[in-house]
Amino acid sequence: MSAGKTRTSELRGKSDVDLAAEAKSVARGLFQSRMKNFTNQLDNTAGLKVARREIARVKTVLRERAIAGEKKAEAK
């Protein structure tokens, strides 16, 4: 998982490739945390919620860009 929350404004400054890589990284960390939680090795269960929300932030920014691209294509 990442070190902490990322501000949405910081995410908007990244490229699509960087955002996809970050989403994949956070998802991998979330999976590892879920496995640790299942085996009672996870100390901070609040991190699960933080990771889910981080993934949602990244996906939201990617979706906003996709919608903006569709609107530009329709305008032409």
Residue 2 lies in a domain: no
**pLDDT value at residue 7:** 86
Q: Please give the tally of structural domains in the chain.
A: 1
* Digit-coded pLDDT (tens) for 23-60: 999 999 999 999 999 999 999 999 999 999 999 999 99
Per-residue pLDDT at 12: 92
Tell me if 49 is assigned to some domain.
yes
In whole angstroms, give the CA distance from residue 5 to residue 24. 15
Q: Please tell me the predicted confidence (pLDDT) of residue 5.
A: 67
pTM over 0.85: no
Query: Residue 66: which CATH number?
Result: 1.10.287.310
And the tokens for 47?
């991190």
Q: Examine residue 36 and state whether it is found in any structural domain, yes or no.
A: yes
- Using the predicted structure, report yes or no on whether residue 2 has a pLDDT greater than 50: no
Q: How far is CA 14 from CA 24, 34, 40, 50, in A?
A: 15, 28, 36, 20
